[in-house]
Chains A and B, each alone.
Chain A
């Protein structure tokens, strides 16, 4: 059992606090991805779990043990580094065997484990080479292999794919996911790439400025972001943020933008929404929720219209991205490739209001899905 628990975990460098009392429970065999912009503290958190950074305050538990003062080697973890961190003077075989040899494992056992890992990662033919003679992808496999041979309960991966080219990154992403299924261990993965986070994670931890903003499954994170930062960090192109005013109507609530009323989805907590009555709010609309024509089968109460001018139309083959100005703001819409819109032309878009978001402009918290505060 290797669940990881962070309890009011805190990291300070001198007087500067970089991780602020974060709490997190990572279940046994879970694949958790830490994501956030650079400097958000995700790598520092990982390094604390690895034992490469001291915990300044709070508790760090791995399995049944509090490991604040347990040296790295006794934590039953393995780590894969961004720059692979292979030992340049050792062959691939020795690189992978090093950890086991330090633990005084039998030579036959080391050999069996190294060859098994090499077979799984398809690097058997490279065992006698030095890291210098390997390509980036091969080095990454060796780094994974070095972590695998020790059979640790926890794998820590620090942006392992960021030095690979885009195509290889896609392949390795799938392989790491498969490896997780196969190895049956807890994976903690740090990345700044939201695609990696979305595709690989059981749960995603979004961090900013040393705080955890939201911990959720990828879909939940996409559908119900708790604040404007999470909403715009996840999803590409970014969610559109429109300044609007909240209005009470006979049928419920609506957001007024560019002089039009846009009906808001039915709320399970209308009182909360009512408290924002006639106030400025931020209306968040994902680009794919805007359509060039009303989607069939939706009642008109769930639709709204936006009128704008196309500044730029980017055809991508499978779809088209329209950059338009409407009501004084820039909006990106993802429409079908057959949409006839051309640059400079006025356009009317239909918004699917079932999936919109509403944010408090002062606190940036989500009004619809926010934490109950």
Chain B
């Protein structure tokens, strides 16, 4: 049978099956189980109505339990067992211990953290920027549609596109990768210094300033003692400040490296094999896709801000930047949190992009791909499941916070 025909048939059968289920189950409830006749029709109607919601919920509950609930428990079981011929044996935390001894796991963990910091921040910031800039211009909607379009492309599709952009040909041949074609335009002259050293240096300096501001914002209330802080709050603030301090340190070393590095002008690069930086080349793919998502939600949120508050701020004497950062952004803080956490969850699960572009080689491994590697290439169900559990533990708190924020937004 033709696969297209099979697909159509599958859709038809599924839709008809759903329709039949809802129709017949309700029919059974109303005609057979609790018909509104007999001695006490009112009570029967009430009973039928109490049961009805469950009829509608049942398929979802069933399939969620089967395909989400059961696998979690099974994965947990697998992660504490080892496969032996003909069965399994209890292994305790051996799999976790073994995993923590593998450098590849820590590489994946570190890369995931890097993704976690960069992708949600950049996607949300870009989305916010685009949403604000396209709000009041006539061709804003066209621009938005173009930026939203990557959302319609699968991660694998996007990876293929970007693999072509990063493509490498020997110097003697014509470059088909856009990045290498651009790269070969740089010759070490003034323009090269400006674009490749000064501009990134300034961006990093800006990042340092932002991180320093974050530290100040975190520590100011504690140091000045303006308001009594709980121990937990102080701990959290200290932790965030330390994290920011680490990022500043990395940024400073990066600036120094940027100034000293000897760039190989004129030689085409195999971008995806440059350790550390290749992570960013992969992140670009996800940012490219997620910016559209962030933009759509944030644009709607910006539109929802009452004009009067902006006008009141204008009369109060606020400039465009003050209006944006002190009036608009705080009013959509809830939406920003939802966007940020949603992208964060996507990032923690990122698999397709890494799988399709580098498959975790050249120090680009991430947890999801590491799990896949262990589970389906090494056939090591124990360590693979342990990795899956680690991912789940990382995602859960963010997901909970995300849902909490989203529900608050809806109120």
Min CB gap B339→A, angstroms = 17
Nearest B residue to A78 via CB reads: B315
Are A72 and B308 in contact, CB atoms less than 8 angstroms apart? no
Annotate B209-230 by CB proximity to A: 1 below 8 A, 0 otherwise.
0000000000000000000000
Decide: B318 and A102 in contact? CB cutoff 8 A.
yes
Count residues on chain A whose CB falls below 8 Å from chain B CBs: 24
Q: Verify if B317 is at the interface (C-beta below 8 Å from A).
A: yes
B322:A52 contact, CB within 8 angstroms: no
Cβ of A281 within 8 Å of any chain B Cβ, yes or no, is: no
Cβ–Cβ contact A51 & B315, under 8 A? yes
Contact call B313/A87, Cβ cutoff below 8 A:
yes
Interface residue A98 (Cβ < 8 Å from any Cβ of B): yes
Q: Tell me whether A99 and B317 are in contact in the complex, defined as CB-CB below 8 angstroms, given that A85-B306, A88-B331 are known contacts.
A: yes
Q: Does A103 contact B (CB under 8 A)?
A: yes
Contact: B331 with A73, CB < 8 Å? no
Whether a CB of chain B sits under 8 angstroms from the CB of A229 is no
Instruction: For residue A176, give the distance in angstroms from its CB to the closest CB of chain B.
Output: 18
> Are B316 and A88 in touch, CB under 8 angstroms?
no
Residues from 315 to 333 in B contacting A, C-beta threshold 8 Å: 315-318, 322, 326-327, 330-331, 333
Q: Which residues of A235-278 have CB atoms within 8 Å of chain B's CB atoms? A: none
A83 and B308 within 8 A (CB) = yes
Q: Mark A69-91, 1 if CB is under 8 A from B, else 0.
A: 00011000111011111111110
Partner of B311, one of A52, A77, A88: A52
Give Cα distance in the complex from A78 to B313, angstroms: 10
Q: Determine the chain A residues whose CB is within 8 A of the CB of B316 once the complex forms.
A: 73, 98-99, 102, 146, 150
Give chain B residues whose Cβ lies under 8 Å from the Cβ of A146.
Answer: 312, 316
Give, as a whole number of angstroms, the nearest-CB distance from A214 to chain B.
29
Question: Does A221 reach chain B (CB closer than 8 Å)?
Answer: no
Residues of A within 8 A of B311 (CB): 52, 79, 81, 85
Nearest-neighbour CB distance to chain B for A94, whole angstroms, equals 10
- Decide if B164 is an interface residue (CB 8 Å cutoff): no
Interface check A50, CB cutoff 8 A: yes
- List, in ascending order, chain B residues with CB within 8 A of A50's CB: 315
Nearest CB in chain A to that of B326: its residue: A98
Q: Min CB distance, A155 to chain B, in Å?
A: 11
Interface status of B309 (Cβ within 8 A of chain A): yes
B317 and A88 contacting across the interface, CB-CB below 8 Å: no
Interface contact A89-B314, CB-CB below 8 Å = no
- Which chain B positions have C-beta within 8 A of A82? 308
With A88-B331, A102-B322: A72-B309 Cβ-Cβ less than 8 Å: no
Look across to chain B and name the residue whose beta carbon is closest to the beta carbon of A89. B330
Bound-state CA distance A316–B311 (Å) is 43
Q: How far is the CA of A73 from the CA of B316 in the complex (A)?
A: 6
Contact present for A98 and B313 (CB under 8 Å): yes
- Which residues of chain B in 194-214 are interfacial with respect to chain A, using CB atoms and an 8 Å cutoff? none
- A370 and B393 CA atoms in complex are apart in Å by 83
Contact between chains at A52 and B315 (CB < 8 Å): yes
CB distance B322 to A72 under 8 Å?
A: no
Q: Which of A85, A86, A146 has the most CB of B within 10 A?
A: A85
Find out whether the CB atom of B308 lies under 8 angstroms from the CB atom of A85. yes
Cβ-defined contact, B331 with A77, below 8 A: no
B303 to chain A, nearest CB (A): 16
CB distance from A28 to the nearest CB of B (A): 20
B317 and A79 contacting across the interface, CB-CB below 8 Å = no
Residues from chain A with a CB closer than 8 A to the CB of B315 are 50-52, 72-73, 77-79, 99
Interface set, chain B 297-311, CB cutoff 8 A to A = 306, 308-309, 311
Per the 8 Å Cβ criterion, residues 109-156 of A in contact with B are 146, 150
Instruction: Name which residue of chain A comes closest to B312, CB basis.
Output: A85
Give the complex CA separation of A37 and B331 in angstroms: 34
Task: Find chain B residues with CB under 8 A from A102 CB.
Answer: 316-318, 322
Tell whether, in the assembled complex, residue A85 and residue B309 are in contact, meaning their CB atoms are under 8 Å apart.
yes
Q: Are A89 and B306 in contact (CB under 8 A)?
A: no
- Determine the chain B residues whose CB is within 8 A of the CB of A98 once the complex forms: 313, 316, 318, 326
Closest A residue by C-beta to B310: A85
Least distance between A73 CB and chain B CB atoms (Å): 3
Q: Which listed residue (B308, B317, B330) contacts A73, Cβ 8 A?
A: B317
Partner of A51 from B308, B314, B326, B330 at Cβ < 8 Å: B314
Q: Bound state CA distance, A75 and B313, in angstroms?
A: 14
B312 touching A79 by the CB < 8 A rule?
A: yes
CB-CB nearest in chain B for A79: B315
Most buried by A among B308, B316, B330: B316
B67-109 contacts to A (CB < 8 Å): none
Cβ of A185 to closest chain B Cβ, rounded Å: 15
Specify which chain A residues have a CB less than 8 angstroms from the CB of B306 in the assembled complex. 83, 85
Contact in complex: B309, A86 (CB < 8 Å): yes
Q: Which residues of A contact B313 (CB under 8 A)?
A: 87, 98
Q: How far is the CA of A85 from the CA of B317 in the complex (A)?
A: 15
Task: Identify B327's interface contact among A73, A78, A87, A99, CB under 8 A.
Answer: A87
| Interchain CB contact under 8 A, A103 and B317 | yes
- Asked if B312 contacts A81 (CB within 8 A), the reply is yes
Write the nearest CB–CB distance from A256 to chain B, whole angstroms: 54
Cα–Cα distance between A72 and B313 once the two chains are bound (Å): 10
Q: What's the Cα separation between A79 and B311 when bound, in Å?
A: 9
Q: How far is the CA of A150 from the CA of B318 in the complex (A)?
A: 14
Q: How far is the CA of A75 from the CA of B50 in the complex (A)?
A: 65
Q: Mark A27-52, 1 if CB is under 8 A from B, else 0.
A: 00000000000000000000000111
Distance between A83 CB and nearest chain B CB, rounded to angstroms: 5
Residues of chain A within 8 A of B308, CB atoms compared: 81-85
Q: In the complex, what distance in Å separates the CA atom of A175 from the CA atom of B318?
A: 29
Q: Which residues of B contact A99 (CB under 8 A)?
A: 315-317
B317 to chain A: which residues have CB within 8 Å?
Answer: 72-73, 99, 102-103
The listed residue (B312, B314, B333) touching A87 by CB distance below 8 A is B312
Are A89 and B322 in contact (CB-based, < 8 A)?
no
Closest to A47 in B: B311
Distance (whole angstroms) from the CB of A340 to the closest CB of chain B: 53
How many angstroms from the CA of A183 to the CA of B109 in the assembled complex?
A: 64
A-B contact pairs, 15 of them (CB 8 A): A51-B315, A73-B314, A79-B312, A79-B315, A81-B308, A81-B311, A83-B308, A86-B309, A87-B327, A87-B330, A88-B331, A89-B331, A98-B318, A99-B317, A146-B312
New A-B contacts (8) at CB < 8 Å, excluding given A81-B308, A102-B322: A52-B315, A73-B315, A73-B316, A84-B308, A85-B309, A85-B311, A85-B312, A86-B312
Chain A residues in contact with chain B, CB under 8 A? 50-52, 72-73, 77-79, 81-90, 98-99, 102-103, 146, 150
